[in-house]
Structure 1
Amino acid sequence: MADHGEDKTHFGYKDVEATQKADMVAEVFHSVASKYDLMNDVMSFGVHRYWKRFTIECAAVRPGMRILDLAGGTGDLTAKFSHLVGETGEVVLADINESMLKVGRAKLQDRGIVGNVNYVQANAEALPFPDNHFDVITIAFGLRNVTDKAKALRSMQRILKPGGKLLVLEFSKPQNAAMQKAYDFYSFQIIPRMGSMIAGDAESYRYLSESIRMHPDQETLKEMMIESGFDQADYINMTNGVVALHRGYKY
């Protein structure tokens, strides 16, 4: 079952057939892959680096751990995790989108990050890994693009080791009206223009802004994580709730 109906789901603000959404999202990321890192820096004024750094700190990764960086795209988290787990550990960079995976692999290899990183093209709703396999799973700015978020969360819970944790870094709901108003203006008036100028694609960035508004708010996502089998879940708001880091624990 998709997010709001038996056969329908949302693609930004549009209702589409649930079976079509993955392909439509894929087209967005095929289009933006080559400019993805640059656009992240420009759109967030570099603040996305702080959000990701905080996520890495919360992951508390140690040498020898096995980490899944899901929807890992161009590999920002994977690069750091690779150093933290060391030669005895493993990091899997997984993404449903082949274009993003290629950009990520090339970027990391150019930086000399090889050996303990593997690359897997995978759908978050049906992850191709054994039960109780990973110490930590991260998904940064990817969950909102998944068609059936509950199914994906259950898939993540299944492959997480007892004692492990899931970290979901995602855009969320600003915590005051003034921030919400400014954020809406920026998202719908400025970001598509940046997308047009820098990536030659306003429409994909309009979709990304819409997809943020359709994503569950902080409390709803927390409840979804509990319903998906996590024994405990909480979240930390950043930048007044523009972004939230949800943490799910499996005991």
Structure 2
Amino acid sequence: MRLAGSAHDKGFRLARHGRLVSTNDEALTRAKSGDPGRLWIIAESQSGGRGRNGRVWSSPPGNLYASLLLIDPAPPRRAPELGFVAGIALALALRGVLSGDHRLAIKWPNDILHDGAKLGGILLEATSLSDGRFACVAGIGINCRSHPQDTLYPATNLAAVTGGAVTAELVFERLSTAMAEWLEVWAAGNGFEMIRAEWLSLAAGLGGRISVSRAGQSIEGVFKTIDPTGRLIVEQASGEAAIEAGDVFLLAQPAGAIAALQ
């Protein structure tokens, strides 16, 4: 496992491990110990990997488990934007691996799909440190060799998509390049409008009907856009709903459905 040369030149570092409880936990521990950030944590497997909303993230050997620690990357109120930055970087890195395959897309907020099946995901965590610094961690998991069967959404892996082996090493090298590039575009939040536009160009289900599950209720409507803060905008008969968190399900689209204006 190695960093791309362009990422190394921009001050990113890499720490490799055989097995960890969680790469995100290791990154946060390092932050609390004074690490300056721009540090990738990689593990061959995890005993306690997790996804959004506390779900277990199956972590056998052969897949990619990586977390990027950033210290004071932007004002804390803008930290959630990092999820969109990481989503773009990961989607474009994987499109490169898959020779530009446009069946690869991002499902809000930051799941990576291939032909509607989940290929990977991102878990963003942040904390204020005792010395006044602010730590953000973007945890990234990609199914390279295998995928779990008992998932909330259909899942797949890169080997199944390509019909051949795709190594975690190759994916990470592409990812480390893309992440360094898109962090510069984001520019600590100043470039979020460019991030938003790129994210929408990669969005799964844009202009189609979706269902969003949140806080014990379900909201159904048309995925219209994301707003300037990254909230999901769903158009219903009664008007627009702005959603900050939830699980999105893509619904079957009627023939001839067209994408909504961004």
**Same structural fold, with TM-score higher than 0.5 when normalized by the shorter chain:** no
Greater relative contact order (Cα 8 A, min sep 6): structure 1 or 2?
1
Higher percent of residues as strand? 2
Higher percent of residues as helix? 1
TM-score (norm: length of structure 1): 0.27
